[in-house]
Amino acid sequence: MQQTLVLVKPDGVKKNLIGEIIARFERRGLKVSALKLVKITEEQAKYHYAEHEGKPFFGELVEFITSGPVAAMVISGENAIKAVRGQMGATNPLDSVPGSIRGDYALTIGENIVHGSDSEESAAREIKNFFKAEEIY
């Protein structure tokens, strides 16, 4: 059983896509193990995007992810990271296939609806940024 962090970003929340995104993961056979609507602090955002610190777009990432509420969730299942990332589609929505979340609902890389951890190490770090162990079922 593998866990990954998924964030429905402010643009996805604004477009009322939380339920649709959860339903896609659940239909795939994945489980929502934790879920909450949060306003990410600047400190959380900087920690979340730490690998991009120093890059020209770092400030924009932090500004966008803190601009509105985010649906944070832990998704669990066999090969959850790969399954979630496949369903999300390419980071650039214009490279995403129809049927993927980004392929269906996003047009720009800056507002691409959803985030998912890219490795087990990232998932562990990112989950701890948003959830206490006792909040995960």
- Cite the active site residues: 115
User: Is 18 within 8 Å of 105 (Cβ atoms)?
Assistant: no
70 beta partners:
38
Q: Report whether 9 belongs to an annotated binding site.
A: yes
Q: Is 125 annotated as a binding residue?
A: no
On whether the CB atoms of residues 24 and 124 are closer than 8 A, the answer is: no
85 is in an annotated binding site: yes
Alpha helices in 6-135 (DSSP H): 10-14, 18-27, 42-48, 58-65, 80-88, 101-105, 120-130
CB atoms within 10 A of CB 137: 10
Tell whether 58 is in a known binding site.
no
- Which residue ranges make up the annotated binding site? 9, 57, 85, 91, 102, 112
- Which residue ranges make up the annotated binding site for ATP? 9, 57, 85, 91, 102, 112
